[in-house]
Chain A
Amino acid sequence: MSATAATAGPTIRATGLGRRFGEAWAVRNLSFDVAPGEVLGLLGPNGAGKTTTVRMLTALIAATEGSASIDGRDVRRDAEDVRRRVGVLTETPGLYEKLSARANLAFFGRLHRLPSDVADERIRRLLTLFDLWDRRDEPAGTFSKGMKQKLAIARALLHEPAVLFLDEPTAALDPEAAFIVRDAISRLRAAGRTIVLATHNLDEAGRLCDRIAFIRGGLLRIDSPARLRDEAGRGRVSVLFAARADGLAEAALGVAGVRAATASDGRLDVDVDDPEQVTPALVRTLVGAGAAILEVRRQAATLEDVYFEVMGVRPGAGGELD
């Protein structure tokens, strides 16, 4: 029987979740839901508490405070049942390198108590899906990093879990291997799999996740990549001119709602309180000042901008932002 039996509520629910090691809190006050079929990214720097969060949600370690459930099962009270319902890709593939790809998966099939015919069929299907079937009888130790990572993902999927937790799935992989793994995750996403992706790869999170939770010792912000970018981008308008923008910055600063303006060659970047209100007046003022405007665009923030804004630091910018 598959462990994907859906419940009416969220697949994952964390409420005030926290874990302390000695006197130090690794993470605290984490509260969020993950809907069935959703891909949630956990973003944060090293030591932010991503792995600890994954371990608490997968019933590998106990929370010091708060609670969490997977598919309606409490991670503390029903820990064994929760582990039956989750698939985990750990930070390192952690394969038995002397054993073949097939033997690695067969062992985990037995740990999940899959009937041997079911396990055999799934092993064949997963190894085929990840293009490893032809090398099924070769020791895992002979595989490339990307192949090992794919085998580890196959291992995490073998028992058809309700949720797949991927901890840094492309860390330490070369671009080609990382592409292969991201492609595999994309396919799982397209298949409607609920996934939690812990990463500090912003581009990966932006491309693969429905929502992103920024974590650093606690939950800082959670939203869709588009909305996060949108919110971070709010307040900046860029204007491109046919000629140099000399003197136009002073003109822009005279517009109500403009906070700052920076001119460079044929471009003017303007920080405003509310782009929708201010932009029309700004354009009128600039045209009135003799500007030949080619283009006006609202600046789209990158996830990197969002990340540094949320984390409150920007490298080389003197540390904490105000």
Chain B
Amino acid sequence: MRPDILRAVIGREFAELVRNRLLLFTIIVPPALLTVAPLVVGTLVQGGERSLPESLLRQIIAQRPDWSSFSPRELAAAFAIQQFLIYFLILPAYIPLAVASFSIIGEKQSRSLEAVLATPIRTSELLAGKAVAALVPGLLAGWLTYVVFATLARIQYGPNLVAVVSDPSWLAGVFLLGPAIGLLSVVAGIIVSSRVNDPRTAQQIGGVIIVPIVALTILQSTGTIIVGASGYAVAAIVVAAVAVAGLRLGVALFGRETILTRWR
């Protein structure tokens, strides 16, 4: 792997990315909304008159004993804010998928890959460049959104709720599981994009990887489970293992001959 070639591929990918308004919209708007939404919801819940049902409160405290010192309103707000951690996992899932599918299918449509493959570039360098260029915006968006969100939370809430969004479960979710999901998303983007010719179709098919995250959201919102730091860390290892296994298929699909003779 030659760094200068890798940089060239990544540089070109970014140069095209910043000229693609639809893709930029996809990358910028949802994270911006996600920064504000948890704070609004948390404020509404904390300031509201209604509390969570007693049975749910007991269930939450049983799963998160560290929240037992919270007032009922703080507990309700913490529970509401906790739901949003899942959305910080969706960012690294869908942004790399969108970027990878636009990148690969865009090259299929413009038929620009053959000229690239006719140069001394190695397919591993091309694949790695595209993967990094797809992964980085998703990770940065997720991390940046989280930092901004945590900063605003510090300003708006008391120390108890700030501790919620900076506890190990959030850190493990954002900084371990997020990148693993991003990698899986890139792999899904590569595999699906090699078979279809429309970026939106690729995103719809590749979007299947979001289903487990949505399922986790539902389970957490009902208080059935509230995943802690170790749960996110284990999930990160499992997802990364699946991504690495999928990457082998992706590499095979990204072979010079395969691209030239089978990609249509």
- Interface, chain A (partner B; CB < 8 A): 21, 55, 58, 60-62, 80-81, 83-84, 86-88, 90-92, 94-99, 103, 107-108, 110-113, 139, 152, 155-156
In order of increasing CB-CB distance, the 10 nearest A-B pairs are A110-B8, A88-B118, A94-B112, A98-B19, A111-B119, A90-B114, A94-B111, A92-B111, A94-B115, A107-B12
Q: Do A96 and B112 contact each other (CB < 8 Å), given the known contacts A61-B256, A103-B15?
A: yes
Residue of A95, A110, A111 with most partner-chain B CB within 10 A: A111
Are B16 and A58 in contact, CB atoms less than 8 angstroms apart? no
Q: List chain B residues, Cβ under 8 A from A90.
A: 111, 114-115, 118
Closest CB of chain A to B56's CB: distance in Å? Answer: 51
Q: List chain A residues, Cβ under 8 A from B260.
A: 55, 60-61
Are A95 and B15 in contact, CB atoms less than 8 angstroms apart? no
Interface residues of A, dominant DSSP: mixed
- What residue in chain A is nearest B20 (Cβ atoms)? A98
Q: List chain A residues, Cβ under 8 A from B257.
A: 60-62
- What residue in chain A is nearest B118 (Cβ atoms)? A88
Annotate B235-257 by CB proximity to A: 1 below 8 A, 0 otherwise. 00000000000000000000011
Closest CB of chain B to A233's CB: distance in Å? Answer: 39
Closest CB of chain A to B253's CB: distance in Å? Answer: 16
Are A86 and B118 in contact, CB atoms less than 8 angstroms apart? yes
Interchain CA distance A152-B12 in the complex, whole Å:
17
**19 residue pairs from A and B, CB less than 8 Å apart:** A58-B118, A60-B114, A80-B120, A84-B119, A90-B114, A94-B112, A94-B114, A94-B115, A95-B110, A96-B16, A97-B110, A107-B11, A108-B116, A110-B4, A110-B7, A110-B8, A111-B116, A113-B4, A113-B5
Interface size class for chain B? 20 to 34
Check: B121 CB closer than 8 A to any chain A CB: yes
Residue of B2, B15, B115 with most partner-chain A CB within 10 A: B115
Q: Which of B4, B112, B121 contacts A95 (CB 8 A)?
A: B112
Check: B113 CB closer than 8 A to any chain A CB: yes
- What residue in chain A is nearest B116 (Cβ atoms)? A111
Closest CB of chain B to A155's CB: distance in Å? Answer: 7
Interchain CA distance A61-B260 in the complex, whole Å:
8
Q: Do A60 and B118 contact each other (CB < 8 Å), given the known contacts A96-B112, A111-B8?
A: yes
Interchain CA distance A212-B80 in the complex, whole Å:
75
Q: List chain A residues, Cβ under 8 A from B116.
A: 108, 111
Are B16 and A99 in contact, CB atoms less than 8 angstroms apart? yes
Q: List chain B residues, Cβ under 8 A from A91.
A: 111
Closest CB of chain A to B238's CB: distance in Å? Answer: 37
Interchain CA distance A111-B119 in the complex, whole Å:
7
Q: Which of A60, A98, A103 contacts B256 (CB 8 A)?
A: A60
Interchain CA distance A58-B256 in the complex, whole Å:
12
Q: Do A94 and B20 contact each other (CB < 8 Å), given the known contacts A83-B118, A111-B121, A113-B4?
A: no
Interchain CA distance A155-B261 in the complex, whole Å:
23
Interface residues of B, dominant DSSP: helix
Are A152 and B115 in contact, CB atoms less than 8 angstroms apart? yes
Residue of A91, A96, A107 with most partner-chain B CB within 10 A: A96
Check: B117 CB closer than 8 A to any chain A CB: yes
Interchain CA distance A60-B256 in the complex, whole Å:
7
Closest CB of chain B to A212's CB: distance in Å? Answer: 24
Closest CB of chain B to A302's CB: distance in Å? Answer: 33
Interchain CA distance A92-B110 in the complex, whole Å:
8
Apart from A83-B118, A99-B15, A112-B119: 14 A-B pairs, beta carbons within 8 A: A60-B118, A80-B120, A87-B118, A88-B118, A94-B110, A96-B12, A96-B110, A98-B19, A107-B11, A107-B12, A110-B8, A110-B11, A111-B5, A113-B2
Q: List chain A residues, Cβ under 8 A from B114.
A: 60, 88, 90, 94
Interchain CA distance A83-B114 in the complex, whole Å:
12
Are A21 and B112 in contact, CB atoms less than 8 angstroms apart? no
Q: List chain B residues, Cβ under 8 A from A61.
A: 256-257, 260-261
Interchain CA distance A155-B120 in the complex, whole Å:
14
Q: Which of B7, B12, B120, B256 contacts A112 (CB 8 A)?
A: B120
Q: Which of B16, B113, B122 contacts A94 (CB 8 A)?
A: B113
Annotate B6-25 by CB proximity to A: 1 below 8 A, 0 otherwise. 01100110011001100000
Interchain CA distance A234-B87 in the complex, whole Å:
79
Q: Do A80 and B16 contact each other (CB < 8 Å), given the known contacts A55-B260, A60-B117?
A: no
Q: List chain A residues, Cβ under 8 A from B122.
A: 80
Interchain CA distance A113-B110 in the complex, whole Å:
24
Residue of B114, B119, B121 with most partner-chain A CB within 10 A: B119
